[in-house]
């Protein structure tokens, strides 16, 4: 929106129609901070609908909390929570506000999947509180309302990142034959070249590229890829 271009809109009307959180979400997702916002009915509608999706997800999470599931060893929720906190914190520090909105969409999708794991009440409340707190600079009204529903009375502070949940146990190795990617294999972090080669030979789809071929050279980049050059 720019006065010079005479394409301004009435902010009071927009806030009344869509809510302040939708407007904030739209403004941050639309443009980098140094540029004028390009108004779009489609854009504000999309932001409004996303807030509604978050609210529906909140209702699901509240139901899961009430279900009071027994404890289990699954730590997927801690992983996505700490990843979200870290990425949003970095994007705030770098003024990459439009990337924060991408983080919101990612955590929305992840949470919808994770809540199917029947997470225990204490763990679910603690991690959801952290996620809502991390969302609060962008959508404070939504975040505060959801936090109230969790019956949390202590002072809410910016969540700390627990790095142990950000350590990847498995790595996606890119498998290339003569420079062309043939497959991506999931293997333990720090898998060595020889063990990775064994996995490739045990894979019927990959082994066919190596049958009757002589390996001339192998280019191995730890925790990333292996490129096998044949004659």
Q: How many CA atoms lie within 13 A of 151 on its CB side?
A: 5
Residue 158 has pLDDT above 90, yes or no: yes
pLDDT digits (tens, 9 = 90+) for 162-192: 988 887 777 889 999 999 999 898 888 888 9
Residue 7 has pLDDT above 70, yes or no: no
Residue 14 has pLDDT above 90, yes or no: no
Q: What is the pLDDT of the chain when averaged over all its residues?
A: 87
pLDDT band at 50 (very low <50, low <70, confident <90, very high): very high
pLDDT digits (tens, 9 = 90+) for 57-111: 999 999 999 999 998 888 999 999 999 999 999 999 998 888 999 999 999 999 9
pLDDT for 2 equals 45
Residue 3 has pLDDT above 50, yes or no: no
* Percentage of the chain modeled with pLDDT above 90: 51
DSSP class per residue in 148-180 = HHTT--SPP-PPPP-GGGG--SEEEEEEEETTE
Higher pLDDT, 134 or 216: 134
Residue 180: other Cβ atoms inside 10 A: 9
CATH number for 170-230 (one of 3.10.20.590, 3.40.50.150, 3.30.70.260, 3.90.930.60): it is 3.10.20.590
Token readout for 7 is 């394409």
Domain boundaries, the chain: 11-165, 170-230
pLDDT for 208 equals 85
pLDDT for 86 equals 95
Residue 153 has pLDDT above 70, yes or no: yes
Rg (CA), the chain: 23
Of 32-36, 99-103, 121-125, 210-214, the least confident: 32-36
Q: CB of 129 within 8 A of CB of 81?
A: no
pLDDT (mean) for 5-12: 59
Residue 211: φ, ψ to 5°:
-60, 135
Token readout for 197 is 């080669």
Residue 35 has pLDDT above 70, yes or no: no
Residue 31 has pLDDT above 70, yes or no: no
pLDDT band at 34 (very low <50, low <70, confident <90, very high): low
pLDDT band at 8 (very low <50, low <70, confident <90, very high): low
pTM, 2 dp: 0.71
CATH number for 11-165 (one of 1.10.730.10, 3.40.50.10320, 3.40.50.11610, 1.10.10.10): it is 1.10.730.10
């Amino acid at each position: 929106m720019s006065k010079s271009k005479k394409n301004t809109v009435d902010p009071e009307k927009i806030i009344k129609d869509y809510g302040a959180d939708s407007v904030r979400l739209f403004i941050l997702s639309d443009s980098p901070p140094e540029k004028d916002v390009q108004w779009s009915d489609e854009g504000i509608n999309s932001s409004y609908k996303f807030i509604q999706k978050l609210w529906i997800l909140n209702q699901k999470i509240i139901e899961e909390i009430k279900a009071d599931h027994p404890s289990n060893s699954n730590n997927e929720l801690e992983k996505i929570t700490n990843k979200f906190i870290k990425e949003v914190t970095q994007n705030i520090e770098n003024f990459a506000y439009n990337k924060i909105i991408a983080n919101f969409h990612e955590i929305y999708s992840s949470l919808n999947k994770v809540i199917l794991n029947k997470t225990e009440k204490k763990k679910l409340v603690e991690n959801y509180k952290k996620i809502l707190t991390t969302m609060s600079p962008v959508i404070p009204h939504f975040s505060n309302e959801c936090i109230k529903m969790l019956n949390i009375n202590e002072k809410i502070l910016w969540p700390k990142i627990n790095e142990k949940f950000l350590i990847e146990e498995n790595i996606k190795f890119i498998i290339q034959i003569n420079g062309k990617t043939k497959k991506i294999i999931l293997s333990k972090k720090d898998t060595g070249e020889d063990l990775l080669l064994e996995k490739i030979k045990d894979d019927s789809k990959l082994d066919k590229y190596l049958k009757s071929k002589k390996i001339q050279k192998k280019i191995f980049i730890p925790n990333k890829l292996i490129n096998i050059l044949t004659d």
